Chain A
């Protein structure tokens, strides 16, 4: 057997063309589930990250939390969650969200924290309130960092969702796990290839998003020019 043969078998299989085990359904399943976990994680992590980054309190906790999250084996969490909460998508959603949250939290907090202090001072100086400073000045500047964190989280979720097929979750992981169980190599390899393609596509999407967000960040960084330097130069003259 060779790659060409395997892939041909995989894509030619009628079951993979339509029905519940079709490639399109599996991709959509995978994406929907990953997006759900990502949105849940973002709802938790972004507000908290904004708060921690802006106040500067609890940064140490955030770093420690990410370290721990990185050390936890995803397969262990997924199997344990299903044993404790029962087979079903909700049981898997929990560890997935928990794994996606730390990179988002850290990126948000550090992105906000990393805003040029002079820009923040200038914003406060020209009369912006704290929430205005946070949302109009810090957040746009932190957006590229935040999106980079979201990319890490998305990649993590897509990978873990693949693994979670082992405990019964749908999506592309089904091909890999079912193929392994039945020694059906074309299915396993075809599924793996699709997972790789999906991960690369999501990476590209985020790369585009980050590129789109960066000029905005740069524009915000320029806030200090009208607010800061003319006043300064007038004084020095």
Chain B
């Protein structure tokens, strides 16, 4: 209970702007680098799964389970390998979570190209790999970006849990506020995490407009 402590002490925020900015930057790195790595892994894996469809079923099953693993438990299990309170301990699981979201969306996107389009491409003289790169991959971009939006937002909110093992960017504000019975940093943390997620989401929407104008221009 708060015992007269106000919900927000505005001057605390004013006094800690630099500190909050630093935490936000750290948080962005911890949360978003894994998403980028996840993307870099998801695209070749997705292409391989499209080319050799037998690969997809087992991979999808594995990532389905991975995605459902509670983050705190996975962080803890990794500590013996990557150390307590290191970025890696948080970033490695986040990479797998991102991959678990991005692999199915990549494959869905690559498969979303209608069969007639595929046949037309073959009939015009595209080989299988050339067709994947020139037709299927660009057509999958809207799906990839939709997946990135989910992955980025989830990653940003999950990264905060890292604070419990000593490295959670903005998540530290929750631990700190709770220990001192001081709600101001907690509220600041919630708002900043949500804001970071919102900014990423808007950037990705803008990226879709830029990279896949046919998908937005068409949405009537």
Contacts and interface: CB of A to CB of B under 8 A. Distances in A.
A133 B69 CA distance: 38
A35 B153 CA distance: 26
A180 B164 contact: yes
Chain B interface mostly: helix
B47 interface: no
A143 interface: no
Contacts of B165: 180
Interface residues on A, range: 35 or more
Chain A interface mostly: helix
A202 B70 CA distance: 12
10 contacts: A73-B160, A74-B160, A74-B161, A75-B163, A75-B171, A80-B183, A155-B68, A162-B70, A162-B73, A180-B76
A73 B171 CA distance: 8
Interface stretch (A43-51, A82-90, A211-219, A226-234): A82-90
A199 B67 CA distance: 10
A32 interface: no
Interface string A192-224: 110110011011000000000000000000000
A72 B193 contact: yes
A74 B157 contact: yes
A76 interface: yes
Contacts of A188: 76, 79
Contact of B194 (A71, A166, A173, A192): A71
A193 B65 CA distance: 14
Interface of B: 1-2, 64-65, 68-74, 76-77, 79-80, 150, 153-154, 156-157, 160-161, 163-165, 168, 170-171, 173-175, 177-178, 181, 183, 186-187, 189-190, 193-194, 197-198, 201
Nearest to B178: A79
Nearest to B168: A75
The 3 closest A-B pairs by CB, nearest first: A159-B70, A71-B197, A73-B160
Nearest to A78: B174
Given A180-B165, A195-B73, A200 B65 contact: yes
Nearest to B162: A75
A145 B190 CA distance: 30
A128 interface: no
Contacts of B194: 68, 71-72
B8 to A, nearest CB: 12
Contact of A196 (B70, B183, B189): B70
A70 interface: yes
A64 to B, nearest CB: 11
A74 B154 CA distance: 11
A57 to B, nearest CB: 21
B76 A189 contact: yes
Contacts of A70: 150, 153-154, 157, 197
